[in-house]
Amino acid sequence: MVLLGSSFFFIYGLPGQGPCAAASYPWPKRLLTFSAVLLLGAAILGLIAQTGLLAGSLSEGFKLDNLKAVITQMNFGLSAIARAAIAAALLLWLAVLTPSRLAWAGCAVGGAIICASLAWMGHGAATEEPAGIVHLLGDVVHALAAAVWIGALVAFVFLLLLGESDVSSDRALHESLRRFSSIGSITVALIVLSGLVNSWFLVGPNRLMDFWTTAYGRVLLAKLVVFAGMLGLAASNRYRLTPALGNALGAGVSRDAPLSALRRSLMLETIAAFAVLGLVAWLGTLAPVTADLVRT
């Protein structure tokens, strides 16, 4: 998600050149490189762990025959190999290219493919056709929209923590916040709409009033509560804190207070975003509410 969302933000949210461009900072390339390394390791270890789980023990997950069977016969095996291959390609891409919009664009494309591949490890890939196509598409849109939002948040945190604070950089930050507001509105709408599609398949219209009585429903409810908190922080950033920074810049007064408030709010929103991802990972291990209804 960082590979997609942060790279995309470097393109639309920051100037193309000059002292406030993404290429002028040392941390964007390091952030993307670290993300690609982490993804490469996680994809390989995740494949081994899943194979061991299916085969009955972790040691079985290291056997080539078992790994080959999972990679060639199961969606999650193929998607894991795809993520590892793209992560390795992006590491080479970042090593060869100097920081530039071309480098960010390549990482954004690779990150988008990686995020889309996550859908083949979730409940959407298990839904039977033709409804399965709708469910899978909903999962893909959900992951892509979330990545654009979360990756931008990570970039903002780095900007506020590592970037210099002078009039030109603060003006660039304010403009970035304004640009992200438009993109953010679209991503939130896509997240909500695709979330409703997924809920139709995983919760079902007949269980909306009591879905919280299942383990899946309780974790989903916790995710929705944290997501609502993110929306509240995002609304505060857009309608209160960003205008406050703009007013301070326009009046030529101290920007310490609005910058401090933005830093605190964006860090809380980012922490909440990663909490949501943790809850999503937990949901992936649980039987959906509709499966509980079928058993009943």
Taking Cα atoms as reference points, which of 111, 109, 196, 182 lies closest to residue 147? 111
Q: Per residue of the chain (296 residues), what is the pLDDT tens digit? A: 999 999 999 999 998 888 788 999 999 999 999 999 999 999 999 999 989 988 888 899 899 999 999 888 887 888 889 999 999 999 999 999 999 999 999 999 999 999 998 877 665 555 556 666 888 888 899 999 999 999 999 999 999 888 777 788 888 889 999 999 889 889 999 999 998 888 877 776 676 676 778 888 899 999 999 999 999 999 999 999 999 999 999 988 888 899 999 999 999 999 999 999 999 989 888 877 766 544 44
> Rg of the chain's alpha carbons, rounded to an integer?
21
Residue 259 and residue 294 in contact, taking contact as beta carbons nearer than 8 Å: no
Residue 245 and residue 173 in contact, taking contact as beta carbons nearer than 8 Å: yes
What pTM, to 2 d.p., does this model score? 0.88
Domain hosting 192: range is 2-295
CB atoms within 10 A of CB 204: 17
CB atoms within 10 A of CB 48: 19
Residue 11 burial by Cβ neighbours in a 10 Å radius (0-12, 13-18, 19+):
middle
Number of domains in the chain: 1
Residue 92 and residue 110 in contact, taking contact as beta carbons nearer than 8 Å: no
